[in-house]
């Protein structure tokens, strides 16, 4: 490996000082040479000592990686001559300043990574000189402000990651009208002002999770948006607007009510609203919704509104950690995954419970009912009408199980197809003769299909 690198650089550097390749990895890729000095204990002086200029003489350097070297000062004079450099990775150093010189001179730079440095603020106007920069990473710094010293600035940035800073103000966004991916997570935003994002007509993915937002109004967001991550804020008011969003994460907020106009999110495929205070779910129709997670809310029954009629595409439904009195499915539902975990408020699964639940057409269902510390009774045949792929009944409070429980469809099929799994571990079974069937019938089959499910099965 080293010989190949050495050979290829022999050609690159002729008789020049080539010591950078003795310390760093030097590669030729199809887009040009790449020098990787990640974590080489370089510090400032060593970087200065390399003759970067000669490296660039015969074939333009494409990418330079200086990450994790405790660099405090950049070798500006040398760097700025790497005219055709496309990627510069300066992450994980001790830089407290972005020199406009670098941007002014590296006219072809597309990808600049300054993440995990010591920047306190930054004048975004400087970017106007970096005409080809399309990806800029400023995450994990200490910025509480992005200044804009000159008014008339626009950039061609498509990806901007400013997560993990202390920003409060979005005034810098008008500089980046072409942005497609924006990461504002882990900052101190309390609001997304009306006009700050609305006109970013190319924005597809927006992360504003882990901030201090109090409300969320989709009317303030552009129509182009496809994925919105707003988890871990303090949102208690949410308002919807016609949009093409397909992924909405609003888990771990303070929402107690969702209004009917959620139905305006016509393209929505995934909705995660776990960790809020919902006590009901609105009557809405979402034709594309595939995944719905309403875990850790304040629901006492499984809402009737969650039905195949309202969500014809629903495949995955999770409703763990609520205050469910029972887990009866009250409307027809066809699913691939159904999950109820960590619920201390129901004790019994009776004949009625799952009559309205079955697998999706030409498929099978995975049911997880586990870690429900009071669940002690399950009546026979409750799964009989379903085509089950896997059944997880672990860590509940069952002392015994009716033998007819497992007269389920898949169970009667060819065991050696190993298509299904049954997990009964972590229940306080009392082993008397009525559980003998587990030993006689289930255990031998489990042993073939999945012996590790037997470890904690007593």
Ligand X SMILES: *[C@@H]1O[C@H](CO)[C@@H](O)[C@H](O)[C@H]1NC(C)=O
User: Structure tokens of 78?
Assistant: 């040398």
Nearest to residue 66, comparing CAs of 92, 97, 48? 92
Please give the structure tokens belonging to residue 118: 């010591």
Which one-letter DSSP state was computed for residue 283?
-
Per-residue interface string for the shown chain with ligand X, residues 389-408, x marking contact by CB under 6 A: xx--------xx--------
295 phi, psi to nearest 5 deg? -65, 160
CA neighbours closer than 13 Å in the CB half-sphere of residue 380: 4
Under rule CB under 6 A, residue 366 binds ligand X: yes
User: CA-to-CA distance for 174 and 195, rounded, in angstroms?
Assistant: 10
For ligand X, the closer CB: 1 or 433: 433
Under rule CB under 6 A, which residues in 27-56 are in contact with ligand X? none
- In this structure, what token pair is assigned to residue 364? 């099978």
**DSSP string spanning 2-27?**
HHHHHHHHHHHHTTS--THHHHSEEE
Q: Token pair 């497992």 is at which residue? A: 406
CA distance 141 to 122: 11
Cβ burial of 362 (10 Å; 0-12, 13-18, 19+) is: exposed
> In whole angstroms, how far apart are CA 351 and each of 15, 141, 325, 355, 418?
84, 57, 16, 7, 28
Q: Which two tokens stand for residue 388?
A: 């089950």
What gap in Å lies between CA 112 and CA 129, rounded to an integer? 14
Of 102-110, 193-201, 248-256, 346-354: span binding ligand X (CB under 6 A): 248-256
> What is the C-alpha to C-alpha distance for residues 258 and 279, in angstroms, rounded to an integer?
10
Interface map 299-328 toward ligand X (x if CB under 6 A): -x-----------------x----------
Q: Which stretch binds ligand X (CB under 6 A): 14-22, 77-85, 141-149, 272-280?
A: 272-280
Closest listed residue to residue 24, CA positions, set 38, 10, 13: 38
Site membership for ligand X, residue 457 (CB under 6 A) = no
Q: Work out whether 362 is an interface residue with ligand X (CB under 6 A).
A: no
Please report whether residue 159 would count as binding ligand X according to CB under 6 A.
Answer: yes
Which part of the chain contacts ligand X (CB under 6 A), choosing from 70-78, 348-356, 376-384, 427-435? 427-435
Q: How far is the CB of 244 from ligand X (least distance, A)?
A: 15
163 binds ligand X (CB under 6 A): yes
Binding-site string for ligand X from residue 123 to residue 142, where x marks contact by CB under 6 A and - marks none? --------------x-xx--
Largest CA distance in the chain: 87
Count of residues engaged in binding ligand X, rule: CB under 6 A: 47
Residue 91 makes contact with ligand X by CB under 6 A: yes
Which of the residues 177 through 216 are near ligand X (CB under 6 A)?
A: 181, 183, 205, 207
CB closer to ligand X out of 7 and 259 = 259
Q: How far is the CB of 83 from ligand X (least distance, A)?
A: 23
Q: In sequence order, what are the beta bridge partners of 35?
A: 26, 64
Smallest gap from Cβ 47 to ligand X, in A, equals 20
Q: Judged by CB under 6 A, does residue 416 bind ligand X?
A: yes
What distance in Å separates the CA atoms of residue 19 and residue 305, rounded to the nearest whole number?
Answer: 69
Of 159 and 356, CB closest to ligand X: 159
Listed in sequence order, the residues at least 6 apart from 376 whose beta carbon sits closer than 8 Å to its beta carbon are 347, 348, 396, 397, 398, 399
Q: How far is the CB of 351 from ligand X (least distance, A)?
A: 18
Q: Does 232 bind ligand X (CB under 6 A)?
A: yes
Q: Which is nearer to ligand X, 295 or 307 (CB)?
A: 295
Q: Is 276 in the site for ligand X (CB under 6 A)?
A: no
Residue 432 near ligand X by CB under 6 A: yes
Considering only CA atoms, which of 281, 284, 207, 189 is closest in space to residue 250? Answer: 207
Using CB under 6 A, pick the residue from 374, 434, 441, 444 that binds ligand X: 434
Out of 62, 93, 115, 155, point to the residue binding ligand X (CB under 6 A). 115
84 binds ligand X (CB under 6 A): no
Residue 270 CB, shortest distance to ligand X, in Å, is: 7
Contact indicator for 62, 32 with CB cutoff of 8 Å:
yes
Does 1 bind ligand X (CB under 6 A)? Our answer is no
* Residues near ligand X (CB under 6 A): 91, 115-116, 137, 139-140, 152, 159, 161, 163, 181, 183, 205, 207, 231-232, 239, 241, 251-252, 256, 259, 261, 272, 274, 277, 279, 291, 293, 298, 300, 318, 336-337, 366, 389-390, 399-400, 414, 416-417, 421, 430, 432-434
């Amino acid at each position: 490996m080293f010989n190949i690198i050495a050979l290829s650089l022999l050609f690159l550097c002729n008789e020049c000082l080539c010591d950078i390749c003795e310390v760093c990895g030097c590669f030729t890729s199809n887009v040009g040479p790449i020098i990787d000095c990640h974590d080489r204990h370089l510090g400032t002086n060593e970087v200065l000592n390399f003759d970067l200029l000669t490296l660039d003489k015969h074939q333009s350097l494409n990418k330079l990686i200086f990450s994790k070297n405790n660099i405090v000062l950049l070798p500006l004079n040398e760097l700025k001559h790497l005219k055709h450099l496309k990627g510069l990775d300066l992450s994980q150093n001790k830089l407290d300043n972005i020199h406009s010189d670098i941007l002014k001179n590296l006219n072809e730079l597309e990808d600049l990574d300054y993440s995990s440095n010591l920047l306190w603020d930054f004048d975004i106007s400087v970017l106007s000189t970096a005409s080809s920069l399309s990806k800029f990473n400023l995450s994990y710094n200490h910025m509480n402000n992005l200044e804009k010293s000159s008014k008339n600035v626009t950039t061609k940035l498509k990806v901007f990651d400013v997560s993990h800073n202390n920003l409060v103000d979005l005034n810098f966004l008008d500089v980046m009208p072409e942005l497609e991916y924006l990461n504002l997570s882990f900052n101190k935003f309390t609001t997304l002002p009306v006009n700050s994002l609305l006109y970013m007509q190319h924005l597809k993915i927006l992360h504003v999770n882990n901030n201090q937002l109090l409300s969320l109004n989709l009317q303030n967001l552009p129509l182009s948006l496809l994925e919105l991550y707003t988890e871990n804020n303090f949102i208690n008011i949410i308002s919807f607007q016609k949009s093409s969003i397909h992924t909405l994460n609003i888990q771990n907020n303070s929402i107690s009510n969702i209004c009917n106009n959620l139905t305006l999110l016509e393209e929505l495929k995934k909705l995660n609203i776990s960790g809020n205070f919902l006590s009901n779910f609105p009557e809405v129709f979402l034709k594309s919704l595939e995944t719905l997670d309403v875990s850790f809310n304040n629901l006492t029954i499984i809402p009737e509104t969650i039905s195949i009629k309202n969500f014809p595409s629903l495949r995955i439904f999770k409703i763990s950690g609520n205050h469910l009195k029972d887990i009866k499915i009250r409307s027809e539902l066809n699913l691939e995954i159904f999950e109820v975990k960590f619920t201390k408020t129901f004790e019994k699964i009776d004949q009625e419970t799952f009559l309205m639940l079955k697998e999706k057409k030409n498929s099978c269902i995975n049911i997880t009912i586990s870690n429900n510390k009071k669940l002690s009774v399950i009546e026979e045949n409750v799964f009989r009408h379903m085509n089950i792929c896997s059944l997880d009944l672990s860590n509940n409070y069952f002392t015994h199980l009716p033998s007819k429980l497992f007269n389920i469809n898949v169970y009667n099929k060819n065991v050696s197809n190993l298509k299904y799994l049954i997990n009964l571990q972590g229940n306080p079974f009392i082993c008397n003769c009525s559980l003998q069937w587990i030993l006689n019938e289930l255990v031998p089959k489990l042993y073939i299909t999945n012996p590790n499910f037997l470890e904690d099965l007593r």
